[in-house]
Amino acid sequence: MEMKIDDELEVVSGRTLPEVDLLPQLKEIEGIISRTCEYFFKGNLVMKNSPFKGFILEGPPGTGKTEIIKQVARKLDRRLQTVSFLFVDGASIAAPKWGDAEKKLRSIFRWIKKQSKNSKLLILFDDIESLMLTRGTELAKEWHYSINSILFHEIDKLNPYKVIVCATTNRPDLVDEAIRTRLYPIQAPNLPLDQLMIAVNEILEASNMKNEDKKFVAEKIKEKLKKMENPTIRDARQITVMECIERRLWSV
207 to 18, 21, 97, 185, 223: CA distances (angstroms): 20, 18, 47, 37, 20
Neighbours of 175 (CB within 10 A): 22
**Measured between alpha carbons, how far is 96 from 156 in angstroms, rounded to an integer?**
25
Q: Which helix (H) or strand (E) holds 12?
A: strand 10-13
Q: Can you give the pLDDT at residue 145?
A: 63
**Measured between alpha carbons, how far is 72 from 124 in angstroms, rounded to an integer?**
11
> Strand 183-187 and strand 10-13: pairing?
unpaired
Task: Please say whether the beta carbons of 179 and 56 come within 8 A.
Answer: yes
**pTM reported for the whole predicted model:** 0.85
**Measured between alpha carbons, how far is 32 from 166 in angstroms, rounded to an integer?**
13
Q: Can you give the pLDDT at residue 140?
A: 47
**Measured between alpha carbons, how far is 252 from 185 in angstroms, rounded to an integer?**
47
Residues 6+ apart with CB under 8 A from 123: 54, 85, 86, 88, 112, 163, 164, 165, 166
Task: Please say whether the beta carbons of 56 and 169 come within 8 A.
Answer: yes
Task: Please say whether the beta carbons of 110 and 154 come within 8 A.
Answer: no
Phi, psi angle pair for 89, to nearest 5°:
-80, 115
Q: Can you give the pLDDT at residue 135?
A: 46
DSSP letters of 192-229? PHHHHHHHHHHHHHHS---HHHHHHHHHHHHHHHHHSS
Q: Can you give the pLDDT at residue 3?
A: 56
Q: Can you give the pLDDT at residue 41?
A: 94
**Measured between alpha carbons, how far is 249 from 113 in angstroms, rounded to an integer?**
52
**Measured between alpha carbons, how far is 20 from 68 in angstroms, rounded to an integer?**
9
**Measured between alpha carbons, how far is 8 from 225 in angstroms, rounded to an integer?**
36
Reference 225, options 212, 237, 210; nearest CA is 237
**Measured between alpha carbons, how far is 197 from 240 in angstroms, rounded to an integer?**
10
The residues of the chain scoring below 70 in pLDDT are 1-8, 91, 94-99, 132-146
Q: Quick one: how many helices (H) and strands (E) in the chain?
A: 8, 7
